[in-house]
Structure 1
């Protein structure tokens, strides 16, 4: 999609569905959609799909029946669709025969479900990060291209009006020459105290939830909302938040990937079941600039200007902060210089702009053009997160060759670009 088309589509979408009336035109629907992963976030995406007015919800799939039922109850307030219910994504795709699949599962399921859907002719709306290990992302992009299907990534910050205008400001040269970028998320929260394993919910298939990952004990501290802090299923804050900001950085630069990566993290101090870093620093060396990642769940940085999330672009003319709820702000050099600011335009209830991503998804399917948040962008941003975790695991820096999709001269590191799958599941190629 070229910039003119993107801005036009975004403007139309922004002016569109501001309220969400009860939708009654399922008979005129064009696309059959299945939601796989019916939790809070998957339900948010489905809300925007229904609001677009061109889908029929034919399936809800989740390993936990309670989540399906909660989602179905919400769906009943939006439309008259009567989707079938499934626990196994393979049965869902085989029997419901969707045209579109929303994949809002935990990260360790992203690759297998996305690839299965693409191989069965579905277009895929995929949550970020696109994968749990690096070569899974490579396999997803390969499947999307081989099947000539659209695979869009839910990088709604690529579409939010203040992110679009902020990127124009950054690329205008008004910030000057930028050689240092710092991306960060600093939220407090210790994740609760350690407790013994618990009985799993009677209506949940925990073995299927773990899937290709190691079968671990069930904890309510993992499901339904805290699985991102369990390494078997995700990569913590670096895997959760960082892809959004890395995508902004990669959108700004002409470079596709860092050359050298080094990560370090603190020892865990909280008594909980989390197995990901509480505080982590990562340095990414590009050809023309250095990027730093920082996150902490122990200190919100109260002395810091603006929000405790976002990316600082430090230029010779000042510092530009690409934020979220705070919009964007440019702090120019000089005592008497005037700060420039733009407020955000975010949709309720969650302060996101999913509707714009969904509009681009539909437009790309119609035109055959790659979306603004194509799977390739998702892979590049996710790779940065995964390479940071890889360096942290190894305890040393790594040299990355983006064109060869491998670490240079490091057999131990390259082995960790994949992982062993459990049971019947086969790592994608």
Structure 2
């Protein structure tokens, strides 16, 4: 068995064990860590102190397994807010850094959280691994496909534990729903449709401006193209700018596409076609406001669709949203959702609808706590975590291949073993991109 298959089978085995525990009625009393003890908490650093990085760090400190030694951000304003929040949870006095390289060299953390904008994930994650740290990196793992391969290779080379923040792999209703699907109760599934429908109007242009005091905008752009600062980019707006991220498909898409890979246990699609554009939006962003991507897998077809306008009540799966994945089987249709849990609608109208509510943590309705517990246990046992880096890479690749097809305006054929696009030199150039200035694209 080669290393890649070993990692996959080990991670799936861990997920299966977690499925049994997390879907039980005793979830609320589930012990979060194994009996393996450690004398001192892990020296921990956060790179990227915005909203979501703060959520992750909060769960890390609440676990009692981590000592906060450093915070890092190119924006002093975010640093201060995060530090103030953490001071309510711990007496630790973390050092403050702007440059992650200086942090790694001086503090020598054992655990690093990477929660930067997407275009920084690869460089920060690889540097942390090379410094000797285990890493929790947010999804999507990379901005381009070859960055992700370099991250996987660095993880293997240095023998570190790298967990990806696809926390729906441990959400109780996602785990029990996956058990339902894998049991065959939905019958043979021939198609899945992942979707995110949120409302919104055309918006309006926001003029560029000088960055706020305390933000090093040149460092923020980093390896990406240097472009004028716009307040809609930062904080929290970067995902709708293709210089820094990959739009809704590269953000929300990772979670739902990952659910399909989890169910099917397939590694990659074979053929991809995507179309979409900006039919409505007239604001300063440049990501598509609607997009459809079709992926051919062995034995089934996956469709992705998102829309950032016209969110009408007819399409909502929950009073607040229309998101998730529909799995279409011969015995019925299964909806894997978020706030609304999961629901199975049998083909036979005489059979009852089956539903399970979600069990999510505040703030922001997530299950980071459970994923962090699995991460720490994996470090202690030196076993692959549930969302191991290569699992995260595959889900990221599905989204990035959809964006790549959209940019090209044509379908592509993906060789998932070689990680190349067959017979298409133009498309293969888009598997990476030029880095700016001193920054060097990571070598796989």
TM-score by length of 2: 0.92
| Partner secondary structure for residue 56 of structure 1 | strand
Q: Which residue of 1 aligns with 2:45?
A: 34
- 3-state DSSP of counterpart to 1:58: strand
Partner of 1:137: 148
Cross-structure match for 2:112 = 101
Structure 1 pair 313/333, CA: closer, same or farther in 2 (3 Å)? same
Equivalence map 1:25-424=2 (5 Å): 29-190=40-201, 192-304=203-315, 306-307=317-318, 308-424=322-438
Is the contact between residue 399 and residue 408 of structure 1 (CA under 8 Å) also seen in structure 2? yes
What is the distance in 1 between the residues matched to 2:349 and 2:20?
Answer: 39
Separation (CA, whole Å) in 1 of partners of 2:274 and 2:441? 26
Return the alpha-carbon distance in structure 2 between the equivalents of residues 299 and 176 of structure 1. Answer: 33
CA drift at 1:156: 0.7
TM-score, normalization by structure 1: 0.95
CA distance in 2, matches of 1:164, 1:324: 12
Report the alpha carbon displacement of residue 306 of structure 1 after superposing the two structures with TM.
1.8
Cα distance in 2 between the residues matched to 1:13 and 1:420: 47
Tell me the number of residue pairs that the alignment of Structure 1 and Structure 2 aligns: 421
2-structure distance, mates of 1:305, 1:94: 49
> How far 1:302 moved relative to its partner?
2.3
Report the secondary structure of 1:241's partner residue: helix
What residue is the counterpart of 1:23 in the other structure? none
Q: Is the 8 A contact 1:171 1:252 kept in 2?
A: yes
Q: Which residue does the alignment assign to 1:24?
A: none
Q: Per-residue CA shift, 1:208-237, capped at 9, x if unaligned?
A: 000000000111111001110000000000
2:72–2:99 contact (8 Å) kept in structure 1: yes
1:336: Cα distance to partner? 2.4
How far apart, CA to CA, are the structure 2 residues paired with 1:426 and 1:302?
A: 47
Structural RMSD (CA): 1.7
